[in-house]
Amino acid sequence: MIEVDAAQSDHGILGMPPVQFLREYWQKKPLLVRNAFPAFESPIQPEDLAGLACEEGALARIVRHDHADDTWQLETGPFPEEKFPDMPHQDWTLLVQDVDKWDADVRALFNDFPFLPRWRMDDIMVSFAAPGGSVGAHIDNYDVFLLQGVGHRRWQIDTRANPDETYRDDVPLRLLKHFKPNHDWVLGPGDMLYIPPGVPHHGTAEDACLTISVGLRAPSSAELLEHYADSLTFDADERIRYGDGDIALPKDVNEIDEAALDRALAALNQLRLSGRDELGEWFGRFISAYRVAEGQAPSPADATGRDIIASLQADETWLRHPYSRMAWRRMGDGAMLFVNGAAFPAAVADARLIAAAELLDAALPAALTAKGRELLQALADGGHYQPDDIPEDDAEA
């Protein structure tokens, strides 16, 4: 089964129990969910997306396809406002990443995916396509839920094992040279297609349409290794060295023998993180900072200098900075709260509450311990929260 109708079940956007989805589909095979969001009204409209693509700091691209000679053009934003009225009526696509960081209504869509760890969720990209618009057949190395917001888009996918991953070398995009789909659907508003990593897919606008992509990017082994090695290097004990006090008389003075390799491996093994807590702290720091846009992360310069606890207790509300990524882990009898690569010791209840709170009100400090309230103030002093009464333009990243 690769297609379900959520309107025929009582299991929400998946059309099946979440445990079944995780067992049978997650990172295994695609799933088309008709009516995942019944009577769906997109939280963002095409004109809003075009406006966002003109903002300084927006990660925007325009892809054009000339069908006559099969050529592709790629432009990167931000774009001048006068660009969009002059765009052709077909065969182009506007893509804007990190829309969840700019728009609270878009960001709220994350709440519809409680069956996945929040720290795994990377961003929500929104694309507008004129009729015929596409970004070509390609493969993503991350999980994505493609929610149709406005209009209709045709999706073609290839679910066969070992698909041809040869890429074209004549275009500015990473497009497949050969694409042979074995599934073909047209999605309307509220329909959603889940595509795991490694599945070739191709989307084409049937009419002027808008698609919302909830992406869950996972770090590659190279990214993990680089950060892990950096952490080990920073704390490396210079006294740990290659040693050969047990060396035997060499048969050939120029040969690197097996005993030498064993000694090198023994030295390296002494540098690894020794326990689960050390490993957990390294991973928490890494994953909470993963893919936070450079220059967009909160800093003390963003802090208001106000007493957040007193403000909340006075019935004011505060918002978490859209580029603040939080997660937590149990550590011994307590916990560690991870915020954009930093680690803060905390009680389990405090870490859980703070990591989950994006809209802060008087209920939060009332539920925190004294240490938890101190931590909340420290995070506010680091720019991770802003009062909800400041102008929207100033609050955006």
**Per-residue pLDDT at 392:** 46
Q: Are residues 204 and 289 in the same domain?
A: no
pLDDT over 70 at 75, yes or no = yes
For residues 243 and 197, state if they share a domain: no
Look at 95-99, 157-161, 295-299 and tell me which has the smallest mean pLDDT.
295-299
What CATH number did the domain enclosing 304 receive? Answer: 3.40.366.30
Residue 59 shares a structural domain with residue 135: yes
Report pLDDT digits (tens) over 181-206.
Answer: 999 999 999 999 999 999 999 999 99
Specify whether 291 is located in the same domain as 240.
no
Of the residues 256, 275, 294, the one at which a domain ends: 275
Single residue among 275, 290, 314 that ends a domain in this structure: 275
pLDDT of 271 reads 78
Looking at every residue in the chain, the average pLDDT score rounds to 94
pLDDT for 98: 95
pLDDT score of 231 more than 90: no
| Whether the predicted pLDDT of 285 surpasses 60 | yes
d(CA 267, CA 374): 42
- Residue span of the structural domain in which 259 resides: 221-275
Do residues 177 and 166 lie in contact, with contact meaning Cβ atoms separated by under 8 Å? yes
CA 68 – CA 245 distance, rounded (Å) = 72
Summarize pLDDT for 251-276 with one digit per residue, the tens: 999 999 999 999 999 888 887 777 88
Are 106 and 59 in contact by the 8 Å Cβ rule? The answer is no
Amino acid at 375: L
Q: Are residues 300 and 343 in the same domain?
A: yes
Q: Report residue 396 as tokens.
A: 């955006």
pLDDT of residue 390: 58
Q: Are residues 37 and 171 in the same domain?
A: yes
303 in the same domain as 263: no
Lowest mean pLDDT among 96-100, 296-300, 347-351: 296-300
**CB neighbourhood size of 14 (10 A):** 22
Based on the fold, state whether residues 187 and 271 are members of the same structural domain.
Answer: no
Task: Of 133, 134, 58, 63, give the one whose Cα is nearest residue 97.
Answer: 58
pLDDT of 395 above 50:
no
Distance of CA 113 to the CA centre of its chain: 13
Does residue 212 sit in the same domain as residue 356? no
Contact in structure between 127 and 218 (CB atoms under 8 Å): no
Residues 313 and 165 in one domain: no
- Tokens, residue 182: 């074995």
**CATH code at 75?**
2.60.120.650
Pick the last residue of a domain from 275, 298, 321: 275
With cut-offs at 50, 70 and 90, classify the pLDDT of residue 394: very low
Q: Name the more confident of 125 and 250.
A: 125
Cβ partners under 8 Å of residue 208, min gap 6: 46, 128, 129, 130, 131, 150, 151
**Angstrom distance (rounded) from CA 307 to CA 98:** 30
Q: Dump pLDDT digits (tens) for 349-392.
A: 999 999 999 999 999 999 999 999 999 999 999 999 999 975 44
In total, how many domains does the chain have? 3
pLDDT > 60? residue 105: yes
Looking at the fold, whether 137 and 198 belong to one and the same domain comes out as: yes
Q: What is the mean pLDDT of residues 123-151?
A: 97
Same domain, 66 and 202: yes
